[in-house]
Amino acid sequence: MTLVHISASPRGDASESLAIARTFLDTWAEVHPDAEIVHRDLWDGTLPAFGPPAAAAKMAVFAGQEPRGEAAQAWDAATAEFRRFDAADRYLFGVPMWNAGIPYVLKQLIDVISQPGMVFGFDPEAGYTGLLRGKKAVVVYTSAVYGDGRGPAFGTDFQATFFTDWLHWAGVADVEEIHFRPNLATADAECGRQAAHARARELAKTW
């Protein structure tokens, strides 16, 4: 079994999502001593771009054609990135909230690998079919201002609503979430932090 930990936080030791993920991984490794854990920092500069050549390649594949030239090179890079992602059986994502949504590097990963025949299939009558079946995911969602029950002046959640929906669309039906959403401007965050780490430990024991 292979678990890949994908971090979208650039904050290193100051990152709440990374700290919660480490708590999960420490417990999970104790329960699954023979499993392989792979760490992926999305800020390491290895994600390929998804610009005009890649877009041309995607449309060519949709049309049943073979990408050529720069488009073929971009398609090869996207294919390699998908294979790297697809090699995992389970995923642990660390996703801080950025401007009500997800960090752009995570959206870049999604845009690179969400390709026909890889992440999804498409039928003109039936629509999309997710192809990442049989996989499981845990997502650590953090935010410093937004939180359930706070008014619209504290933001709107386009973070978990978008990313969990993408996982389901891609075929990952088994998704667990860990939330840490303190209002750092007015409240002591320690109680919520401890609760998030406790949920990470308990979830790791049974997941």
Tens digits of residue pLDDT in 95-124:
999 999 999 999 999 999 999 999 999 999
Per-residue pLDDT at 185 = 59
CATH class for the region spanning 2-39+76-206: alpha beta
Whole-angstrom distance, CA of residue 136 vs CA of residue 132 = 9
Contact by Cβ (8 Å): 25, 36: no
Tens digits of residue pLDDT in 59-68:
999 888 999 9
Per-residue pLDDT at 6 = 98
Per-residue pLDDT at 70 = 95
- Confidence check: pLDDT of 149 > 90: no
Average pLDDT for the chain? 95
| Stated pTM of the model | 0.94
Nearest in space to 142 (alpha carbons), one of 84, 94, 82: 94
Tens digits of residue pLDDT in 40-83:
999 999 999 999 999 999 999 988 899 999 999 999 999 999 99
pLDDT band at 188 (very low <50, low <70, confident <90, very high): confident
